[in-house]
Amino acid sequence: MAFAYSALRMSLCRISPFRASQFYPATFALARTNRILCKSSHSVSSSPSPSDISSSSSPPSFPLMEANENPRWRPMCLYHTHGKCTKMDDPAHLEIFNHDCSKELPVTAADLERKKPQEFDFLLVLDLEGKVEILEFPVLILDAKTMEVVDLFHRFVRPTKMSEEAINKYIEGKYGELGVDRVWHDTAIPFKQVVEEFEAWLAEHSLWSKQANGALNDAAFVTCGNWDIKTKIPEQCVVSSINLPQYFMEWINLKDVYLNFYGREARGMLSMMRQCGIRVMGSHHLGIDDTKNITRVVQRMLGEGAVFKITARRSKSNMRNVEFLFKNRIK
């Protein structure tokens, strides 16, 4: 296995970096092979998943993200993000997988030269995955003053109302092509437990407490669109039979801030990155990678002088009613 990986890595080193929107199946194979190696070394399951035995050289059916922009780019160990990595003393594992996302999002003194004071000390970048139920819940804390990454929270979420057969089919289709379906099965927990662990994580960083009426402390969520917090989280709370947490009462829609700052429209993360000349990293629609790439857009905008303000707020009397605070916004 190690020899095969080494040979593949040497052959891929000869491939030139991505140009513009070109994507290479070989780079996809490298990232996917890395993740299969990760789940193979950690997995508690005994039988191989379909993605373990399928060809890793077949072309992807979705846009790939850049793996060559930074020679030190490595996929995150998704067992580590769940606190379940057992290979921290294995040099070969540490060479292949990243265990500190802050290294992927560096900041220099020059990046801070045009930065303006912000209304919040911390920005919580969130990008959910899952259409039927939430499957992945990643949140990255960005220090709005230094633009540096503080910490990352990442959980795979097990649906509560779907049959095991439906879940297996859903996950194979959603995450199988990315090589992380086995990791999902090994680590996914119910949404209610995710919320409890998320709140404990927020409290550790002094960003939330029940004593403060459940609101965030000098922090705000940033999402690429309104869907994540406006629509999906309330739906999932109903499915999971829990109340909507108070910290989901308001948020910042990056699309609206982007539109008003640059004076141009971007309908999604990839179009923002393309317009800004930011090359993408990782796998699109893997929530943890999308969250990090959205963070890179946020860092760029902060560095160019953008001020992040709340763009949407729920009505306290009727949480279904949302007030959009920017007159010029993406609809």
Distance CA 95, CA 98 (A): 8
Q: What does the block give as tokens for 222?
A: 């940033």
Q: How many domains does the chain have?
A: 1
Structure tokens at 272: 């923002």
Q: What is the pLDDT of residues 226-281, one digit of tens each?
A: 999 999 999 999 999 999 999 999 999 999 999 999 999 999 999 999 999 999 89
201 is a domain residue: yes
Q: pTM, whole model, 2 decimals?
A: 0.82
Dist CA 162 CA 240 (whole Å): 12
Among the residue ranges 28-32, 235-239, 244-248, 319-323, the one predicted with the least confidence is 28-32
The confidence score (pLDDT) of residue 40 equals: 58
Task: Encode 223-254: b = buried (16+ Cβ within 10 Å), e = exposed.
Answer: bbbbebbbebbeebbebbeeebbbbbbbbbbb
Residue 35: per-residue pLDDT: 60
pLDDT of residue 331: 85
The lowest-confidence range among 19-23, 208-212, 261-265 is: 19-23
Q: What is the DSSP track for 176-216?
A: GGGT-HHHHHHH-EEHHHHHHHHHHHHHHTTSB-GGGTT-B
Count Cβ atoms below 10 Å from residue 99 Cβ, excluding itself. Answer: 16
- Is the pLDDT at 30 greater than 80? The verdict is no
Q: Is residue 268 part of a domain?
A: yes
Sign of CA dihedral 103, 104, 110, 112: negative
pLDDT band at 101 (very low <50, low <70, confident <90, very high): confident
Give CA–CA dist 87/76, Å, rounded.
13
Structural domain range at position 72: 2-324
Given this model, what pLDDT does residue 208 score? 97
Stretch 142-171: mean pLDDT: 96
Give the pairing type, strands 149-158 and 189-190.
parallel
Classify residue 147: in a domain, yes or no: yes
Three-class DSSP labels, 42-105:
HCCCCCCCHHHHCCCCCCCCCCECECCCCCCCCCECCCHHHCCCCCCCCHHHHHHCECCHHHHC
Which active-site residues does the annotation give?
129, 285
Is residue 63 included in any domain, yes or no? yes
Assigned domain for 267 exists: yes
Residue 278 lies in a domain: yes
Q: Which of 42-56, 114-128, 219-233, 265-279 has the lowest mean pLDDT?
A: 42-56
Question: What is the pLDDT confidence band of residue 51, given thresholds at 50, 70 and 90?
Answer: very low
Is residue 158 helix, strand or coil? strand
Ranked by mean pLDDT, the top range of 6-20, 28-42, 305-319 is 305-319
| Antiparallel, parallel or unpaired: β 136-143 and 122-126 | antiparallel
**DSSP category for residue 279:** P
Q: How many CB atoms lie within 10 A of CB 309?
A: 15
Closest CA to 82 of 38, 45, 119, 126: 38
Q: Tell me if 331 is assigned to some domain.
A: no
Domain presence at residue 81: yes
Q: What is the mean pLDDT of residues 293-305?
A: 98
Q: Tell me how far the alpha carbon of residue 147 is from its chain's centroid.
A: 17
Give the model's pLDDT for residue 168.
94
pLDDT score for 159: 97
- Residue 78 pLDDT exceeds 90: yes
Distance CA 193, CA 42 (A): 22
Question: How much is the mean pLDDT over the chain?
Answer: 84
pLDDT at 2: 47
CATH of the domain at 183: 3.30.420.10
- Asked whether residue 70 carries a pLDDT value surpassing 70, the answer given is no
Q: What is the pLDDT of residue 42?
A: 67
Q: Is 329 exposed, middle or buried (0-12, 13-18, 19+ CB in 10 A)?
A: middle
Instruction: Give 43's Cβ-side CA count (13 Å radius).
Output: 19
Task: Return the pLDDT at 201.
Answer: 98
Q: Cα 198 vs. chain centroid, distance in angstroms? A: 15
Adjacent-strand bridge partners of 322:
314
